[in-house]
Structure 1
Amino acid sequence: MSETTEGVDIRGYEATDADAFWELKRGFELGIGDGTGGDDKLAKYEAKLTDDYRARYLAWVERCAESDPGCVVVASATGDANAEFTDTEGEDVDDPNLVGYAFALPEEMTFIWDAAVLNEIFLAPDYRGTGVADELMTAVLDHARSQDLPLDRMVLDVDRKNERAQAFYDRYGFDHWGELVARDL
């Protein structure tokens, strides 16, 4: 898709990204749980990150990326930052060296909110403030504009205590449109 001035490519998710993508997903989930809710929120988010959850989540990401290419985009460090690693069979493979991702729900799921849905956006801490998050947001907004939507808008949920995320979304013109509430099952 594009290369940022920081030497990071923004591109569509590929199946070979799964392991690195999962590490970012863990960072996303643990970041949500740490400092944005009650004392037990981090423990709840840590507890859900099981091997079964990993397998189910990555299978879902793969299905979404296959059904609507471009709905999951990744930020991949390029050049010298892109290292080599050995897989479980001992083979050398290119490490995608992912530093972030943005995940909009596929077009077939837009009727959930009658709009495009930004499911997740996450950037590794070392890359925050570099413009990479802006590149990810631009890519996912461009993709959402290509979807056949009931309403021409994108929705997302954000913890009101996450001031950094709130400021980021404010820069992109997101405003409050109702409020998401939840309860335990």
Structure 2
Amino acid sequence: MEIRPYEPPDEAGLWQRKRDFELGLGSGTGGEKKETKYEGKLDEQYREAWLEWVERCVGADERCVTVAVDETATEDPSAGPADAVAGYVFVLPESHRFIWDAAVLNELYLSPAYRGTGVADDLIDAAVAFARDQELPLERFVLDVDRENDRAKAFYERHGFEHWGEMVAREL
């Protein structure tokens, strides 16, 4: 498994993992209504806008998006380009540090087939290293975890994250 900064040829795989991430959020933590909302937003317009945002962030610092690429998938003639990207971690660029006065872990996703293999640990290690290099108002690395996602909460706790406030939301 290669852990490295995202590159444009990874686009199809990154987008597929982003879809998997979003659909997993919708289906696993909030019922049918949330799942329908998450499915509905993942149209072509959203895809283009999200990938443009990725490019802007990566343009600010290539370490904003780190991918885990399974080299064996690229050797499989039946595999498509999206199959090689096993997962990713997305840390907002330093220019966003005033959102929470900290480094922000936007997303981390790993395909289920690779969970429990240490790849997620490698991705979070890359993210923490990048966050430590940022000039921050507070020496903190923050993220949002759904309270119903016990697997994710346990993963982040194992990596030293602690409860720090709580995000609330409302419909607009």
Superposition TM-score, scaled by structure 2 size: 0.94
SS in 1 for 2:106: strand
What do residues 157-183 of structure 1 show as CA deviations (whole Å, max 9, x unaligned)? 001111100100110111111100001
Quick one: which of 13, 23, 43 aligns to 1:20? Answer: 13
| Contact 2:105–2:141 under 8 Å retained in 1 | yes
Deviation at 1:15, TM superposition (A): 1.3
Q: Output the amino acid matched with 2:90.
A: F
Change beyond 3 A, Cα 1:23–1:145: same
Shift of residue 24, structure 1, vs aligned partner: 0.2
Q: For residue 108 of structure 2, what is the amino acid of its counterpart?
A: I
Alignment match, 1:166:
153
Q: TM-score, normalised by structure 1?
A: 0.88
Q: Which residue of 1 aligns with 2:123?
A: 136
Q: 1:130 to 1:175 in 2, by over 3 A?
A: same
Aligned residues: 171
> Is the contact made by 1:17 and 1:96 (CA closer than 8 Å) also made in structure 2?
no
Counterpart CA distance in 2 for 1:39 and 1:96 is: 28
Greater helix content: 2
Q: Which residue of 2 aligns with 1:9?
A: 2
Unpaired runs of at least 5, structure 2: none
The unaligned stretches of length 5 or more in structure 1 are 1-7, 86-92
> Residues of 1 paired with 2:107 and 2:134: CA distance?
17
2:36 corresponding residue in structure 1: 43
Number of the residue aligned with 1:116: 103
Q: What SS does structure 2 have at the residue aligned with 1:112?
A: coil
CA distance in 1, matches of 2:154, 2:126: 19
What CA RMSD, in Å, does the superposition of the two structures yield over aligned residues? 1.7
More strand by share: 1
**For the structure 1 residues 169 and 95, does the alpha-carbon distance in structure 2 shift closer, same or farther, using more than 3 Å as the test?**
closer
Partner secondary structure for residue 88 of structure 2: strand
Sequence identity, in percent? 56
Secondary structure class of the residue paired with 1:175:
coil
